[in-house]
Amino acid sequence: MKKIVILISGRGSNLEAILQANILKAGQAQVVQVICNRPEALGIDIAKKYQIPVTIIDHTSFSARNLYDEALLEKTLSFAPDLVVLAGYMRILSGPFVSQFFGKLINIHPSLLPSFPGLNTHAAALKTGVKWHGATVHFVTKDLDVGPIIIQGIVPVLPNDTESSLAARVFEVEHQIYPQAIEWYIREQLVLELGNVRVDPARQQFFMLPPTP
């Protein structure tokens, strides 16, 4: 059985979607630990609801950034994970952490990368007037939000959208594509070739939600 460690910082909506995934229900993988850097994060309660052990490593309790980074790496390594999943983890990982888990470290980003890396993606989408927006699951590299893309989900940008309404629609598609990406990984159906990801056997890699009436 493959072991998964999930890193969170916030409310845990993607965490819950992952914990409900078919690949976990089938017994082919197990989330062995959730690690959170914020003691007040709502996602901690989500993990407890599913009886997943939680480790809290409060980044504010460390006197230097590198000390936190070292503690996070040591703790994550202690679980010997086959896959490390970032589910709303809001800190940039250190170079040693990324190097240690390269090829088995994935993240979800709320835009159709390479468009709108970084923060405030929904505001950027509305400001630029794009007609389609969405989310991307990708492998993590040392450069922010540019790792090989595994799967993307797209949603329409509607004329009356606000940041919150667009974000809600993107969340819906995130909750579809992240469990799918994890399933492909656990089933060893992802192949990295020259910096790109191939799903083997080839599968539909785009999820699209219809416009809201």
pTM of the prediction? 0.92
Task: Looking at the structure, tell me whether residues 18 and 83 fall in a common domain.
Answer: yes
Question: Among 109, 122, 133, 138, which one carries the catalytic annotation?
Answer: 109
Give the pLDDT confidence of 130-181 residue by residue, as tens digits: 999 999 999 999 999 999 999 999 999 999 999 999 999 999 999 999 999 9
Same-domain check for residues 203 and 117: yes
**For 3-39, how does the pLDDT look when each residue is reduced to its tens digit (9 = 90+)?**
999 999 999 999 999 999 988 888 899 999 999 999 9
pLDDT of residue 175: 96
The pLDDT of residue 211: 55
Residues 46 and 134 in one domain: no
For residue 20 the two structure tokens come to 């409900």
Domain range enclosing 137: 110-213
Please write the tens of the pLDDT for every residue from 110-128: 999 999 999 999 999 999 9
DSSP per-residue codes, 140-154: --SSTT-SPEEEEEE
Distance CA 208, CA 154 (A): 5
CATH number of domain containing 152:
3.40.50.170
Q: Active-site residue 109, yes or no?
A: yes
Q: Which of 101, 129, 162 is the last residue of a domain?
A: 101
